[in-house]
Amino acid sequence: MEITWDESREAFEAAAEWFVATSADVGDRWGALGLGEWDVRALVGHASRSFVTVEAYLAKPPEQVDVESAALYYRATRSLARGPGVAQRGIDAGQALGDDPVAAIAELADRVTALVQRSTGDELLTTIAGGMRLRDYLPTRTFELVVHTCDLAVALGAPMAVPPSSARHAMYLVTELVIDDAQSADALLALTGRRPLPAGFSVL
Q: Residue 23: CB partners within 8 Å, gap ≥ 6? A: 44, 101, 102, 105, 152
What pTM was computed for the model?
0.93
- The mean predicted confidence, pLDDT, of the chain is 93
Domain 5-163 = CATH 1.10.150.120: no
Helix (H) or strand (E) holding 21: helix 5-23
What average pLDDT does this structure show over 20-34?
Answer: 96
Confidence category of residue 21, pLDDT binned at 50, 70, 90: very high
Q: What is the domain partition of the chain in residue ranges?
A: 5-163
What average pLDDT does this structure show over 54-59?
Answer: 96
